[in-house]
Amino acid sequence: MIAVFAPGQGAQSPGMFSPWLELPGVDAQLAEFSEATGLDLLALGTTASADDIKDTAVTQPLLVALGVIAASQLGLEAAGERVVAGHSVGELTAAGVAGALSPVDAVAFAGRRGAEMAAACAATPTGMSAVLGGDPDAVVAAIEAAGLTPANRNGAGQIVAAGALDALEKFAAEPPAGARVRPLAVAGAFHTHYMASAEQALGAYTAGLTVADPRPILLSNADGAGVDTGADLIARLVRQVTLPVRWDLCLRTCADLGVTAAIELAPGGVLTGIAKRELKGVDLVAVKTPDDLDAARALVAANPQHGQGEHTPEVRVVVTPAKGVFTRDESVDAGREIAQGARIGTVRTNRDEHEVVAPTAGVLAEWLHHDGDIVAAGLPVARLTNGSE
C-alpha cells in the first residue's frame, strides 16, 4: 500500500513554483487557481519574498495549489491500494487528491481558510512553540497545566504548544523535564479555540460546496481515522481549524494499514523526515521539485493496481458524549472484539455520568486517553479497526 502525504504551513519557500512552470499546463492551472482565490498565485509563488508568503492568507492557498499540481503529475490513478493524508491545511490538498474536492475548490477553500484564520489571529495576540524531546505524556500534561493547548502532535518527540503569548513565555522559561521549547514564527494559535471565528465562517462557506466521497481513503488529522464520506470530510475540515492536529495518529494508522511506501507532495521534506523515524522500513520520496517526479512515479509503478482496493482495514474512533472525567471500562482491553453499542467507558460530569459506547463493531486497537483524563465532548478516546487484511 502507498501513502500520499501533503505538507502544511511552514513548508513554503520563495520561488517554489518556478521549476514547475516548465511543465505543460501548469501556468493554466495557476491562472485558474488565481481567479478562484483572487490572489496572483503565479507572482506569489515565483517572485515574492519570504516575508510576502508567510502571511497565513497567502501561504495556505499557495501550498494547496502546488500540492495538487504535483499530484497531477504522478499518475496516482494507476496505483494500487493507497491512502492520503495532509498535515493541517495539507488536508485540503489531500481532499483534492482523493477526489472529494475539485482542485480549484480545494485551492479556493484554502484561500478562504487562510483569510479567516489570519483574521482570527489578528483579533487576539497568540502564538505557538515547538516542544522538542521529553516524555510525550508528560509534555502534554505540562502544556495543559500551563493553560495552553497541545495543538500539534507530530510524533518523533515533536509536540507544539499554542495559546496566549504570556503563557507561552512562562512555559518556555520552565520547560518539561528533558524538553526544550522553541517559539515558532506563526501568526497565532492555530488549531485551538482562538480560531473559533474561522470555524464559524468556514461552516457557512462550505454549505454550498460540492463534495464527493473521498477515494482512496483519507485520514483525518483529528484522530487518524479513515474518512469515507464527503459529508463527514467537510464537517471535519471545518472543525479542523480549532482541533489539534494528530499527525502521530495518522502515521499510526498508516502502520496499521501496512503502508510500504509514501510520497510527500511538493513542497516536500518535513513529513518524510518525521515518517523516516515513525514508519521504519517504508520507502519514502519527498517531491520538492519536478526533478523528484521520476522517483515518485517509480514508487507508484512498484505498487500497481490490482482490483479495487477493497481490503483496506476500516479505522473508526470512539468519541465522548460530554465533557468530563474519562474512565475506561475494566472489562475492555486493547485487542478485544467490541460489539456495536458496547460500553467501553464513562465520562463523569459534576452532575451525572455518561456512557461511552462503540459506534460500530470492531477490535479495540488502541486507547487514546487514560483513566482520569479530562476530556471534551466529541473527543476521541479509543480507535477501532475491523482487523481485515
- Cite the active site residues: 88, 191
Count the neighbouring beta carbons within 10 Å of the beta carbon of residue 231: 10
Alpha helices for the chain (secondary structure H): 26-37, 41-44, 56-72, 90-97, 103-123, 136-145, 165-173, 196-205, 230-239, 247-257, 270-278, 293-301
Q: Which of 339, 327, 329, 328 is nearest to 384 (CA)?
A: 339
**ω before 267 within 30° of 0 (cis)?**
yes
Our CA angle for 298, 303, 304, nearest 5°, is 105
* φ, ψ at 317 (rounded to 5°): -120, 155
Q: Quick check: 111 and 41 in contact, CB under 8 A? A: no
Alpha-carbon span 115 to 185, nearest angstrom: 18
Q: Quick check: 345 and 356 in contact, CB under 8 A? A: yes
Q: Radius of gyration of the chain from Cα atoms?
A: 20
Our CA angle for 199, 205, 207, nearest 5°, is 105
Cell 463523569 appears where? 348
Alpha-carbon span 247 to 284, nearest angstrom: 17
Let me know how many helices (H) and strands (E) the chain has, helices first: 12, 18
DSSP one-letter code for 176: P
Alpha-carbon span 225 to 252, nearest angstrom: 10
Q: Which residues share a beta bridge with 65?
A: none
